[in-house]
């Protein structure tokens, strides 16, 4: 983990510590990370991306000019603001061959016949300068021109005048990411159920014919057949070197997933179901940790503080 962890902040996490101490550490075959987040997200939100068009996620943001460069700052907006901006930006974009969609879940998408710029999600860029993420390639100039037009339309927009009167940062840009056509059905997708708050994972599940569910209101997840829980919180915190958010993400995984999952591994619940085994996968190229009832009986493998499992690089943790 990049950055130094504040002393005493990373609390004990009993379930994760037991899982790490008693489980089998070995290579696991991670599920393929979803590509084309725009098309998969649209699919998860009930749309039909088809095979020909390119899709990307989009999000209104605040770009703040500084001496070091232009910095991306995520902003919150209410439903009235979102609806007003959607109407005005949709007209502008449609005149350039790009369709803007906003779903009932509040997610924005762009649809185009031509490839859209592919950039990291705003959660991975938030707080950083955006110079390295400007459009590149053959169509870079045309896309840069289009997004500049969007910024000019937002510059004196009534929504932003009201926000500035309230002392809130203006919404002055539209950030697009996750471009691509809808992928084909995965050849090997072993999961019958997929839970995540990332619509790209849910869309991948829909594409593969799995049962899907949003994490909101789904925890604790009841035992069932071949279940994948994709939780990007810690990864997103690492992407922006946010140690405090990473600590919060670890605590949330402990509370929402690890603790109830270990309980359902040890004993059957009210419905008589329990897990056969649990796998903790850290991503491609990293060994995972598998725990079953046999591993739980290895009481001599004492749990140690989760801070001791954090990778150290030099003087940082």
How high is the pLDDT of residue 3?
45
How high is the pLDDT of residue 9?
65
How high is the pLDDT of residue 289?
92
How high is the pLDDT of residue 217?
67
How high is the pLDDT of residue 112?
94
How high is the pLDDT of residue 240?
63
The answer to whether the bond into 220 is cis (omega within 30° of 0) is: yes
How high is the pLDDT of residue 270?
65
Q: Give the phi and the psi of residue 30 in degrees, each rounded to 5.
A: -70, 150
How high is the pLDDT of residue 300?
92
CB 199 within 8 A of CB 41: yes
Q: How far apart are CA 106 and CA 79, in angstroms?
A: 8
How high is the pLDDT of residue 133?
79
Residues of the chain with pLDDT under 70: 1-9, 30-32, 217-219, 238-241, 269-270, 284, 311-317
Q: How far apart are CA 241 and CA 42, in angstroms?
A: 29
Q: How far apart are CA 156 and CA 149, in angstroms?
A: 12
What is the pTM assigned to this prediction? Answer: 0.85
CB 169 within 8 A of CB 73: yes
């Amino acid at each position: 983990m990049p950055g130094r962890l504040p002393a005493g902040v990373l609390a004990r996490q009993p379930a994760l510590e037991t899982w790490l101490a008693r489980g089998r550490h070995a290579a696991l075959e991670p599920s393929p990370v979803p590509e084309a987040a725009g098309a998969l997200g649209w699919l998860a939100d009930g749309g039909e991306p088809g095979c020909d068009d390119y899709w990307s996620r989009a999000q209104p943001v605040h770009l703040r000019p500084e001496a070091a460069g232009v910095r991306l700052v995520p902003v919150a907006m209410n439903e009235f603001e979102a609806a007003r901006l959607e109407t005005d930006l949709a007209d502008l974009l449609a005149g350039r061959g790009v369709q803007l969609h906003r779903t009932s879940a509040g997610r924005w998408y762009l649809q185009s016949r031509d490839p859209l710029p592919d950039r990291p999600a705003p959660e991975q860029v938030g707080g950083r300068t955006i110079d390295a993420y400007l459009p590149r390639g053959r169509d870079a100039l045309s896309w840069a021109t289009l997004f500049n037009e969007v910024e000019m339309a937002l510059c004196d927009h009534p929504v932003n005048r009201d926000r500035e009167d309230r002392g809130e940062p203006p919404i002055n840009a539209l950030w697009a990411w996750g471009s691509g056509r809808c992928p084909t059905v995965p050849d090997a997708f072993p999961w019958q159920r997929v839970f995540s708050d990332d619509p790209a994972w849910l869309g991948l599940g829909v594409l593969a014919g799995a049962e899907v569910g949003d994490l909101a209101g789904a925890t604790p997840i009841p035992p069932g057949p071949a279940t994948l829980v994709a939780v990007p919180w810690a990864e997103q915190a690492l992407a922006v070197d946010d140690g405090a958010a990473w600590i919060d993400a670890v605590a949330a995984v402990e509370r929402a997933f690890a603790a109830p999952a270990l309980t359902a591994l040890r004993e059957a619940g009210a419905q008589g179901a329990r897990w056969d085994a649990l796998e903790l996968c850290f991503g491609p190229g990293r060994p995972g940790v598998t725990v079953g009832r046999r591993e739980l009986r290895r009481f001599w493998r004492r749990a140690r503080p989760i801070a001791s499992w954090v990778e150290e690089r030099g003087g940082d943790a």
